Amino acid sequence: MSEEFDVLGLIQSLPLFAKVKAGAMKKMYVEPGKEKKDESPGLQEKHVRFQVANPGEVIVRQGEFDTEFYIVIEGIASAYRTESDGRSQLVATYGNGDFFGEMSAISHQARSATVKADAPTTLMRLDVTLFQQLFEDKASSFAEIIDGRYRERALAFHLMTAPIFKTTSKEKLDLVARGAELVSFEKDQVITTEGAEADAVYLVRCGIVKRSRINAVGIESVHDYLCDNSSFGEQAVLDSADDRKWRYTGTAMSHVDLVKVPCDLFRKVFADDQSKTRLHRQVNLLLAEEEGVKTALSDDDNFELLVANETVKGTEALVIDLKRCTRCNACVESCVAVHEDKVPRLSKRGIRDGDLMLSSACYNCKIPECMLSCKFGAIRRDKDGQIHIIVDNCSGCSKCESGCPYGVIRMAHILTPEERRAQEGSIWDSIPLLNKIYKKKAPPPPADDGGKKMPKAIKCDLCAGLPFEACVYNCPCSAISRQNPEALKGIGTIKVS
């Protein structure tokens, strides 16, 4: 394969590339003598590279986040998945012409298995840019083969990322995967229409879906943007006809690939009372989350607040009057007390002008950069415009943290219930000698499989589920409050504290 013509011949011999457009082929290989002025001949290593893996070498590791797509040119490799109970099992073996990594390349999911070389193995690696271009051409052999393999070995696993299926058994997920449809929409195509009957639940494989509605004066109001691994339409499975209505019009903002699970399939798979009740309970939890915390805000409370050179689009800001604040820390302690994981969401840093400080609490932006940055369906918006993080879906990639221009989101290690109980103190902790006997021991760390426990994204959640905001309610000096930043438009030079 060291000679140029051998590489071209190899690429052309692979079934994946049998019907690929010339533009995509040129991103892989440019024939010498046929290059244009700005092109270099031969293998285009920006998008395609070759790798040789030795026996036992790890090619990709379960849980890691990378988006390269691999084709086995020569040799053999095996995929092993470690389950939640610690068991490791062989899930696939790849020989000449086989490929893996399509789910991570399509939807930025973490690697679902560890792949190791069983013998000296030569692999072709495609970067995600080229993969997406090839995959979006639905008339190509590439997209056809990838979709067939995705349905065969990855779809059921991918469905597990949707909150509606969190309590669904593997057997039923397999049935859903067999009956689900893979559908695509081009930019500006309407996917759902506000007010029409919802006929399916959708999972976004890749692309961006805008959800909006028309307000009383006929102007489009954008609700949110759904990216890779987000789901919508869960109300479609409920029994009430009033509930089974699309609440928003969904429009493709780019080429979008979706998994469509029709209502008829839900009725077939979840026909027994027990599984149907469990499914409806999960849907009702999701819809309750979308209802959010009741506030006094109306639709007219949307605004734009200029902060330095940035434009904040949101609802309310958490304002601390530093002249009243005594630094007693009651606000932070009350924030810790009302969250199960004991991680405070309140930050005493933020945008400051004189005696007023806009704390780094979520502005619930109209166009949320965090949501657009998230590729794991972990960020949702409720009907009142509040942004929520689904911790179970968070991968710890920190893209939302870097995407937020106001430093609102941060990454934190969330303790499991067992870890929290182990760290809780007791009366024996204060008694010498006896505390060594009665003090709870932390659970042993999980077996090291080469990965590491990732932190999770957290931010102010307005004390969701409570009738008050703990920091505001417990401040003894009335120094902290929620205010519409519209009143702060007259602030002069604003600096970040």
Whether 441 shows a pLDDT value over 60: the answer reads: no
Beta partners for 202? 232, 260
pLDDT at 88: 87
DSSP string, 115-128: EEESSSEEEEEE-H
Q: List domains and CATH numbers for the chain.
A: 4-137 (2.60.120.10), 157-291 (2.60.120.10), 299-414+455-496 (3.30.70.20)
CA angle 29, 27, 187 (to 5 degrees): 155
pLDDT at 486: 52
Rounded average pLDDT over 209-221: 85
Of the pLDDT bands very low, low, confident and very high (cuts 50, 70, 90), residue 292 is: low
Whether 237 shows a pLDDT value over 80: the answer reads: yes
From residue 484, alpha-carbon distances to 33, 319, 464 in Å are: 64, 9, 19
The whole-model pTM stands at: 0.63
Closest CA to 172 of 282, 80, 283, 276: 276
pLDDT tens per residue across span 373-396: 777 778 877 766 778 887 777 878
Burial class (CB in 10 A: 0-12, 13-18, 19+), 393: buried
pLDDT at 323: 85
What sign has the CA pseudo-torsion 375, 376, 382, 386?
negative
Token digits of residue 285: 């939890």
Whether 433 shows a pLDDT value over 50: the answer reads: no
Question: 454 or 121: whose pLDDT is higher?
Answer: 121
The DSSP call for residue 92 is E
pLDDT at 450: 45
From residue 26, alpha-carbon distances to 31, 138, 321 in Å are: 8, 18, 60
Contact 409, 397 (CB under 8 A): no
Whether 167 shows a pLDDT value over 50: the answer reads: yes
pLDDT at 423: 55
Closest CA to 307 of 496, 484, 497: 496
Rounded average pLDDT over 185-200: 92
Burial class (CB in 10 A: 0-12, 13-18, 19+), 473: middle
Whether 438 shows a pLDDT value over 60: the answer reads: no
Beta partners for 262? 200
Question: 60 or 293: whose pLDDT is higher?
Answer: 60
Of the pLDDT bands very low, low, confident and very high (cuts 50, 70, 90), residue 465 is: low
Whether 205 shows a pLDDT value over 60: the answer reads: yes
Rounded average pLDDT over 341-355: 72
The residue assigned the tokens 């499975």 is 237
pLDDT at 312: 35
Contacts of 18 (CB under 8 A, 6+ apart): 141
pLDDT at 56: 94
Helix (H, G, I), strand (E, B) or coil at 289: helix
Of the ranges 149-153, 166-170, 286-290, which one carries the lowest mean pLDDT score?
A: 286-290
pLDDT at 283: 84
Whether 288 shows a pLDDT value over 50: the answer reads: yes
Residue 268 C-beta-side C-alpha neighbours within 13 Å: 12
Contact 345, 458 (CB under 8 A): yes
Of the pLDDT bands very low, low, confident and very high (cuts 50, 70, 90), residue 351 is: low
pLDDT at 350: 64
pLDDT at 488: 54
- CA dist 90 and 92 (Å) reads 6
Of the ranges 129-143, 251-265, 419-433, which one carries the lowest mean pLDDT score?
A: 419-433
pLDDT at 316: 59
Question: 248 or 298: whose pLDDT is higher?
Answer: 248
Whether 181 shows a pLDDT value over 90: the answer reads: yes
Of the pLDDT bands very low, low, confident and very high (cuts 50, 70, 90), residue 202 is: very high
pLDDT at 424: 55
Of the pLDDT bands very low, low, confident and very high (cuts 50, 70, 90), residue 9 is: confident
- CA dist 69 and 107 (Å) reads 12
Which ranges constitute the DSSP H helices of 108-245? 128-136, 141-153, 155-159, 170-179
Contacts of 329 (CB under 8 A, 6+ apart): none
- CA dist 280 and 266 (Å) reads 11
Residue/partner pairs of 368-373 with CB below 8 Å, 24 or more apart: 368/224, 368/225, 369/403, 369/404, 369/405, 370/400, 370/403, 370/404, 370/408, 370/409, 371/224, 371/225, 371/226, 371/227, 371/400, 372/208, 372/225, 372/227, 372/403, 373/399, 373/400, 373/402, 373/403
Of the pLDDT bands very low, low, confident and very high (cuts 50, 70, 90), residue 449 is: very low
Rounded average pLDDT over 157-179: 88
The residue type of 128 is: V
Closest CA to 446 of 88, 64, 163: 88
Helix (H, G, I), strand (E, B) or coil at 283: helix
As a whole-number percent, the residues of the chain with pLDDT over 70 amount to 79
Whether 324 shows a pLDDT value over 60: the answer reads: yes
Mean pLDDT of the chain: 78
pLDDT at 495: 36
Contact 138, 207 (CB under 8 A): no
Question: 432 or 198: whose pLDDT is higher?
Answer: 198
Contact 300, 292 (CB under 8 A): no
Helix (H, G, I), strand (E, B) or coil at 316: coil
Cα torsion at 66, 72, 77, 83 (round to 10°)? 40
Cα torsion at 247, 251, 254, 260 (round to 10°)? 60
pLDDT at 265: 94
Helix (H, G, I), strand (E, B) or coil at 90: strand
Closest CA to 77 of 37, 38, 124: 124
Whether 440 shows a pLDDT value over 60: the answer reads: no
Rounded average pLDDT over 18-33: 84
Closest CA to 239 of 201, 197, 281, 280: 280
